[in-house]
Structure 1
Amino acid sequence: MFRPIYCYFIIMCVMILGLTACSSTSIKTYNSGKTATVKIKQESTRSYRGEEVEKNRNVASVDPDPLQDEDFTVSYRSHKIDKNTDIKQLINEWGYGEGFEANNRGYVSGNGTYRRWSLSYPNYEDPEIDFVVLSKIELEGEELVDGESYLVAVSLENPKFKTKRGLKIGDTLGKVLQLYGQPSIITNRSLVYSKNGLHLNIYWDTKTEKVDNIFIEYNMEKSVEQQRSADYVEEDAQPDPDLEPYTIQKEQSFTTTLNGWGEVKFISTLKDEGTNDLIQAKFFLEVNSQKYGDNKILYEFPEFYGNNGRMIDRIKAVSFKDLNHDGRTDIVIIADYITGVNAHGIETRPIAGIFFQKKDNTYTTLSELDKNINQTGHNRTLQNIIQYVSKQRINVQ
């Protein structure tokens, strides 16, 4: 659709300047695992002025250099920030940032042993940069103070600060791919690049398709382990999928009646994005009763077929149906998993799995059947799956 305008532009350039126009550079593709193909979509314009040609040239992909530890460093106030940054030294030089006390001394979370808090500069109302810190709580006289402290992560909050490779808030997803290539992990609104326990999290606005936050983790795993180990957990406490690391997907959670269970809540969950692990689906049966003050989990379903090395984007559909006509209620699940990312967001494909109810009322999966459903393309709708399975001979004990 650009050829007539492009030719006209060439003629005009020859007549006026005697120059030939530059052609836009082709976009190199990236592969994520088996599937992902990244494509940068050129903008449609009525003229190809010099700056537009230069813009497309800049967006064009090249093979980025492999990640190095230096790629996880940033510079602020002439200081190099990395995993070994001395927080106490920064505070001695810069203070605590305006609004520290008014914002509960930067408090994020804590227990009797550790506190997680933020250190924002130049202030807490409109920060340029935010440091996440874990401190051991110590008693100094009669006052609790921050003892041994270390940098957990840093968040770039202002577009005037860039990563080592030049990425800043407001840049496009195309720029991200150009600078860093395919990420280690893709979620529904972030790309994660990892090396040696360091994680560069790039979040984008799904409406503008531009970067809106850059979050670098230095000692996140260490901080989570330390803080969690200090928490008091009752030995007989019931697991609750609404807590870490899972988040309930309310639109695909239902009250239903199942053989041998009666009326229960079927709970769909996804692993929280903040874990830096593959986002996977997990399913539970929960008591449907108001007499319990806390959620009480009755049953945890087997591993969902779609989790097999994939990053789940969303749980798309759930159906309760006796698929093999044995008088028991089977459960069909369809999810979308992430295959890659392009300049406009994530790319997904459907993945399906079935939980068959056994005679003892628990559930099992048939991996070969799940595999066939997905390999033959009968995984796009619930009706596709039901029709396909109805032609199979399935006997579950």
Structure 2
Amino acid sequence: MANDDYKLEMRKKMYRQSYGYLIMMLVMILTLTACSSSSIHDYNSGETATTKTKQEDTGYYPDKKADKAKNVISDDPKLLQDEDFEISYRSHKIDKNTDIKELIHKWGYSEGFEANNRGYCSGNGTYRRWSLSYPNYEDPEIDFVVLSKIELEGEELVDGESYLVAVSLENPKFKTKRGLKIGDTLGKVLQLYGQPSTITNRSLVYSKNGLHLSINWDTKTEKVNNIFIEYNMEKSVKQQRSADYVEEDAQPDPDLEPYTIQREQSFTTTLNGWGEVKFISTLKDEDTNDLIQAKFFLEVNSDKNVGNKILYEFPEFYGNKGRMIDRIKAVSFKDLNQDGCTDIVIIADYITGVNAHGIETLPVAGIYFQKKDKTYTTLPELDKSINQTGHNRTLQNVIQYVSKQRINVQ
């Protein structure tokens, strides 16, 4: 418990009292009562943090309710309220309705604004996304992420209608409403906020009514290194994306949102019927901020600007089912059922929970079998069997297990 040190000191003092034995007994009784009644969550209940989806009972993995999880949450944090996403800077309340023009009128543009291309982050002919940093851009305490409509004033392009997209806390002297600051431990995050809405490999996300509090930590020090609050992120993404020119019926390019290419697991390869292509592994962050899931593509093997780079989008990956993918771990191209076609084995790590030391993961495997028409299909029952029996830890595990099965792909 968070107050163990305090109780230990109290017990030492009580031993010195003449009536110490009696008081010691009372303290022990109270301590046991408090321990038995406190709500301790271990985040390994078989549910993802976001979907509460029941995981498959493999009967293979040991119960990971480790002792290290016992001090993750010492009490039951209150439910999130809109005010939990508010912060105060220079005695000014910052929330989803903050007027950016008013802030600029009060504080002006900070040092480094022009030198940093007026805070430019991204944009197109209609909108620009930019940052407003205080007290300066060199060593900011806080960053305001802004979306502005580009307008023409005379012969000069200026920021027209603008609104606050998000805020990034960069200095430990600023705290959230619940008292969290940069430098605090992951354990403190869980004590203050409880179970997150979303867990990724380096952040915990708490969400309510379209507001998102993203707490990022350093995996080496296990301490918070950034606090990022989203107020109007979904709105800004939709507006900026809608202003981009997209050719009718064009395939999405995984270089663009919402895909993030996993370059270490993307390869140039030769596949039956396709010739030399690029196999692209990506992670897709759903617009709803619910699950980060794996998506795979075949892409034209050319560095030239090709109109439609994507040749083929693979079916749903087995590992996505009710899970949040942390990373694509391994990919193998091999004819598994001896039919002359190239099959593809994929192993990913998915997130099972979080404790005071970071995230916990387990492997999940899935296979794409190539059909005679060169497209790919999955065999969900085989994928299920591979993972239930625990033959999913390495590519060799998967290949050896599948080689003993009778597989017929139509």
**CA distances 1:8-45 after superposition (whole Å, capped 9, x unpaired):** 98996566577769979858124467247787849xxx
Q: Deviations over 1:211-249 (max 9, x none)?
A: 000000000000111111111223365532222222222
Q: 1:276 deviation in Å?
A: 3.2
Shift of 1:125: 1.2
| Residue among 253, 260, 267 paired with 1:254 | 267
Give 1:358's aligned amino acid: K
2:293 equivalent to 1:285: no
1:148 aligns with 2:161: yes
**Counterpart amino acid of 1:326?**
D
Q: Secondary structure at the match of 1:165?
A: coil
Q: Matches of 2:288 and 2:116 in 1, distance apart?
A: 26
Q: Which of these residues, 320, 326, 333, is aligned with residue 346 of structure 2?
A: 333
Matched to 1:83, the amino acid is K
Change (3 A) 1:9 1:193: closer
Look up the equivalent residue of 1:244 and give its one-letter code: E
**For 2:77 and 2:353, how far apart are their aligned partners in 1?**
17
Q: Is 2:247 the partner of 1:234?
A: yes
Match of 1:317 in 2: 330
> Secondary structure, in 3 states, of the residue corresponding to 2:292?
coil
Q: Which of the numbers 121, 125, 129 marks the counterpart of 2:134?
A: 121
Please name the residue that 1:51 is paired with.
Answer: none
Cα distance in structure 2, aligned partners of 1:80 and 1:260: 60
Conservation of the 8 A alpha-carbon contact between 2:73 and 2:194? no
Q: TM-score, normalised by structure 1?
A: 0.86
Q: Partner of 1:280: helix, strand, or coil?
A: strand
Amino acid at match of 1:145: V
**2:364 paired with 1:363:** no
Distance change >3 Å, CA 107–CA 39, structure 1 → 2: farther
Q: 1:219 aligns with which of 232, 236, 243?
A: 232
Unaligned residue ranges in structure 2 (runs of 5+): 1-7, 49-63
Q: Is the contact between residue 119 and residue 130 of structure 1 (CA under 8 Å) also seen in structure 2?
A: yes
Structure 2 SS opposite 1:355: strand
Instruction: Give, as a single letter, the amino acid of the residue that structure 2 aligns with 1:160.
Output: K
Superposed CA deviations along residues 260-318 of structure 1, whole A, max 9, x for unmatched, are: 1222222211125998342111111223345x335822211111011112111111111
Deviation string, structure 1 residues 172-228 (Cα, Å, up to 9, x no partner): 000000011111111111111101000001111111110000000000000111111
Partner residue of 2:52?
none
Distance 1:375 1:323, change over 3 A: same
Amino acid in the other structure paired with 1:99: G
Q: Which amino acid aligns with 1:280?
A: Q
Matches within 5 A, 1:157-168: 157-168=170-181
Q: Which residue of 2 aligns with 1:395?
A: 408
Q: Are 2:234 and 2:287, in contact at CA under 8 Å, matched by a contact in 1?
A: no
Provide the rounded CA distance (Å) in 2 between the counterparts of 1:175 and 1:309.
28
SS of equivalent to 2:143: strand
**Which of the numbers 209, 212, 218 marks the counterpart of 1:196?**
209
Aligned to 2:41: 29
Q: What is the match of residue 304 of structure 1?
A: 317
Distance of aligned partners of 1:356 and 1:281 in 2 relative to their CA distance in 1, 3 Å threshold: same
Change in 2 beyond 3 A, CA 1:10/1:220: closer
Q: d(CA) in 2 for partners of 1:60 and 1:67?
A: 16
Partner of 1:92: 105
Letter in 1 for 2:192: L
Quick one: which amino acid aligns to residue 34 of structure 1? G
Structure 2 contact 214–228 (Cα < 8 Å) conserved = yes
- Cα shift at 1:142: 2.5
Partner Cα separation in structure 2 for residue 33 and residue 395 of structure 1: 36
Bigger Cα displacement from structure 2, 164-173 vs 90-99: 90-99
Identify which range, 210-219 or 122-131, moves more after superposition.
122-131
**Aligned sequence identity (%):** 82
Q: What is the distance in 2 between the residues matched to 1:10 and 1:126? A: 44
Q: TM-score, normalised by structure 2?
A: 0.84
> Residue 128 and residue 140 in structure 1: after superposition, are their counterparts in 2 closer, same or farther (change >3 A)?
same
In structure 1, the partner of 2:360 is 347
Question: Aligned residue for 2:56?
Answer: none
Q: 1:91 is paired with a residue of what secondary structure?
A: helix
1: CA distance, partners of 2:15 / 2:152: 80
**Pairing 1:122-137 to 2, within 5 Å after superposition:** 122-137=135-150
Amino acid at match of 2:80: L
Q: Residue 221 of structure 1: SS of its match in structure 2?
A: helix
**Counterparts of 2:87 and 2:10, CA distance in 1:** 43
1:172 equivalent in alignment to 2:185: yes
User: Shift of the alpha carbon at 1:349?
Assistant: 0.6
Which fold has the larger relative contact order, with Cα–Cα distance below 8 Å and residues 6 or more apart in sequence?
Answer: 2
RMSD of aligned C-alpha atoms? 2.9
The amino acid of 1:72's aligned partner reads: F
Q: Distance in 2 between matches of 1:279 and 1:118?
A: 26
Separation in 2 of the partners of 1:304 and 1:181? Answer: 30
Q: Distance in 2 between matches of 1:287 and 1:150?
A: 39
Question: Which letter maps to 2:339?
Answer: D
Which AA in structure 2 matches 1:298? L
User: Aligned residue for 1:71?
Assistant: 84
Structure 1's 66 and 386: CA in aligned 2 closer, same or farther, altered over 3 A?
Answer: same
Change in 2 beyond 3 A, CA 1:32/1:156: farther
Tell me the SS of whatever aligns to 2:384: helix
Separation of aligned partners in 1, 2:10 and 2:96: 52
Alpha carbons of structure 1 residues 39 and 134: separation in structure 2 relative to 1, 3 Å: farther
SS in 1 for 2:130: strand
